[in-house]
Amino acid sequence: MLLFFIGLILLVAGYATYGRYVEKVLSPDDRPTPAISKADNVDFLVLPHWKNMLIQLLNIAGIGPVIGVIIGIKFGSIVFLIIPIGNIIAGATHDFISGMMSIRGGGANLPAIVKDNLGGAYAKVFSWFSILILLLVVAVFVNVPAKLIDGEIQGYSLFWWAVVAVFVYYLAATIFPVDKIIGRFYPFFGAVLLLGTLAIFVSIICNLFVNPDLLKPTQAFKDMMWREGNQHPILPLLFVTIACGIISGFHGTQSPIVARTMKSERQAKSAFYGMMVVEGVIAMIWAAGGMAVYNAFPGLFSANPNDVLLEITEYFLGSYVGGLTVLSVIVLAITSGDTAMRSVRLSFSEMFGISQVSMKNRLLVALPFAFLVAVLIYWSNSDAESFGMLWNYFAWGNQVLAVSTLFAGAVWLFRQSKNGWIALVPALFMCFIVVDYIVWISPAHGGPIGFGVELYPSYVIAAVVSVALAVIVKRRGSKKR
């Protein structure tokens, strides 16, 4: 219980202290933003700040801070400290930097930002890789809400109907101007999300008065918790499992959407850094719910995380209010999937210089990718193993985006004679995590295809590769334009 409240305090204090320092380094000012200088009433237009904050929160807070932490809390109570520390130093900093780079780059998307700072050769590979990861995001974020909708309706199989409904909405949100669908419906979606999360939090607090040991791992939990001895080492698995609560490269693909609708750079801290901190709070609440339910029902430890989510809502809120909270999780997934699809359109059109003012061009870009997503959705539901593979590749690929964004941010800051270490240090750590995961993971280690090297040699390889890349990035940043 104590670690849970310490973690929440760290998130609030971190926003007020380290967040302020990062803002000082990035130095937002009063220069015209892309929403004003490049207004087109489709992607570039001014939206109210409160609406931008909600859009950013819903864009980045997908199922990661719910499903990810329901899985990740299996590592034990240490998660209540790792989430806030990683969030403040790495995740929120990553989002703030990516947002400011986009604003200063005229609303540039992540591939263009990477090309500008890490070079054309790397950017060519990265651009296609980022589009692939975004397509995986869309496929995952169609699957999960459809399964939750199906799980809430007893006696009927509505999964494929839900898939079609969610997918049609994604396509509409992709091609229509940002203020017509996303800007119009997100305030309602945001209210549902915040009410659902608040309901879980209040119930957890009330239950703690009755049972102070609610969040204290039981002996059964300790016997089953993930550790190196059962092929679940914290390094690297924790930081791949809990992406959105700590750091997520997917966020860097979403920041340009709000960077194009922001009236003033001075709104950037609350919109980018602040909304990532709010996501950290959401992750902490769901991690606490997961811990309590695993303590109460040890048999759920090996259950599907979607089933655990439904049990958390039933356990704390009952069927009626719990249904509202499940709806808030469905909203989390849908409001990240729609903008992921939009980011695919924006990134591809930017790569090939395709104007997106006309509806015809937006459809021509979006429809082929919509077909690819449909194929991914069908394949991932062919059996349980296929969806597990989809999730695994999405998880580590997502963190490759984070590393690339932070390396680009470090170069960008060093070139301006600013403190690029605020980006380079978390980039170095996350690079270690990604390389270590790829080198270590294998079916023999309980995961997808990788190199299958034993754990400690993989640490050495990851450390050497990460330090070498960090040195290259630092040297590149030292070469002023």
The DSSP annotation for 407-463 comes to HHHHHHHHHTTS-THHHHHHHHHHHHHHHHHHHH--GGGTSSS-----HHHHHHHHH
In a domain, 458, yes or no: no
The pLDDT tens digits for 187-228 are: 777 777 778 788 889 999 999 999 999 999 999 999 999 999
- For the chain, the domain total comes to 1
Q: What is d(CA 202, CA 215) in angstroms, rounded to the nearest whole number?
A: 14
pLDDT over 80 at 77, yes or no: yes
Q: What is d(CA 244, CA 144) in angstroms, rounded to the nearest whole number?
A: 16
The dihedral sign for the CA sequence 277, 282, 287, 292: positive
Lowest mean pLDDT among 195-209, 224-238, 267-281, 366-380: 366-380
In a domain, 140, yes or no: yes
In a domain, 466, yes or no: no
Lowest mean pLDDT among 142-156, 276-290, 332-346, 367-381: 142-156
Q: Which two tokens stand for residue 437?
A: 């995961």
In a domain, 440, yes or no: no
Is-contact 26 268, C-beta < 8 A? Answer: yes
In a domain, 442, yes or no: no
Q: What is d(CA 25, CA 332) in angstroms, rounded to the nearest whole number?
A: 31
In a domain, 368, yes or no: yes
Q: How confident is the model at residue 336 (pLDDT cuts 50, 70, 90)?
A: confident
The 3-state DSSP class for residue 242 equals coil
pLDDT over 80 at 390, yes or no: no
Radius of gyration of the chain (CA): 21
Of 388, 408, 223, 187, give the one whose Cα is nearest residue 304: 388
In a domain, 456, yes or no: no
Question: Which amino acid, residue 193?
Answer: L
Q: What is the percentage of the chain residues whose pLDDT exceeds 70?
A: 95
User: For residue 250, how far is the Cα from the chain centroid?
Assistant: 5
Domain encompassing residue 52: 2-396
Q: What is the CATH number of the domain that holds 40?
A: 1.20.1740
Question: Quick one: pLDDT at residue 175?
Answer: 86
In a domain, 413, yes or no: no
Question: Quick one: pLDDT at residue 481?
Answer: 56
DSSP string, 377-406: HHHHTS-HHHHHHHHHHHHHHHHHHHHHHH
Of 135, 185, 143, give the one whose Cα is nearest residue 162: 143
Helices (H), 262-383: 268, 275-296, 305-352, 359-380
pLDDT over 60 at 430, yes or no: yes
Predicted TM-score (pTM) above 0.85: yes
